[in-house]
Amino acid sequence: MTILLAASLIPPLFLLWKVYQSDKIEKEPPKLLLIIFVLGMISAIPAGILEVIGGTVLTMLFPAGFAETAAGSMLFNFIYFLIVVGGSEELVKFLAMRIPTWRNRNFNYVFDGVVYGVTSALGFAALENVMYVLDTGLTTAGIRAWTAIPLHCIAGIFMGHYYGIAKAAERWSDSRDRNPSLRGKAKNKFLRRSILVPMVIHGLYDFIATGQNMLFLALFFVYIIIVDIFAYNSLKQYSRNDISLETGTPGPQNWEES
């Protein structure tokens, strides 16, 4: 049992430590990160409920027998993993991140959002990993350490990146916007991206991973390599270009490029 728990928890905690170390300017309080991590773990429960409900509704929307055909099965899986699984899991992780941080005084740099997003995502991944590994053993722990756990971390990186920009938009755009009806527009746009981008990354991963032939297996490894490299380079860039929310002054043209 101890070995299985260690094998389950070491990979997400290691990745969390690496991202935490990437926060070069001002480290986030461990107590706050612990709260986010625990909320991320707890969020796995409502995610499971949402996935059951979403899967049931999706099944009802498909014509009788269509999902059993080759084309129907692929379409069903694509919608299910992209919207139901990806949407459910990334939404609850987003809420686990946002609830304790949006108005927190420690949220004072854009890169803080990345740390929060990864902490929530890896809290979710930690509980999920424990459940999988206790059920199926050490082989699963080894496979998930190189696939599912990094995937959750990557989704958290991009969720947190856009979350941090949304906070910057609230601070810098809304205060200058003379039209009250437009206030919050930039903030809400990036908050939506902080859910939609990781949802797509996550959903495509699950869809490709469930393929039953060699083409999907090859695509799976290509996808992992591409996403890993892109996320690693993006993380370094986000860390290097971190900006204070109190004193930073980039304009909307900089955010549009993100």
The residue ranges of every structural domain in the chain are: 2-47+87-256
Tens of pLDDT along the chain (258 residues)? 788 889 999 999 999 999 999 999 999 999 999 999 999 999 999 999 999 999 999 999 998 888 788 778 999 999 999 999 999 999 999 999 999 999 999 999 999 999 999 999 999 999 999 999 988 888 888 999 999 999 999 999 999 999 999 999 888 765 555 554 555 788 999 999 999 999 999 999 999 998 888 999 999 999 999 999 999 999 999 999 999 988 764 444 444 445
Q: What pLDDT, on a 0 to 100 scale, did the predictor assign at position 72?
A: 84
What values do phi and psi take at 79, rounded to 5?
A: -65, -40
Chain position carrying tokens 């206790």: 134
Q: Which residues pair with 244 in a beta bridge?
A: 109
**Alpha helical stretches, state H, 23-111:** 30-42, 44-61, 70-79, 86-101
Distance of alpha carbon 152 from the chain centroid? 6
pTM confidence score: 0.91
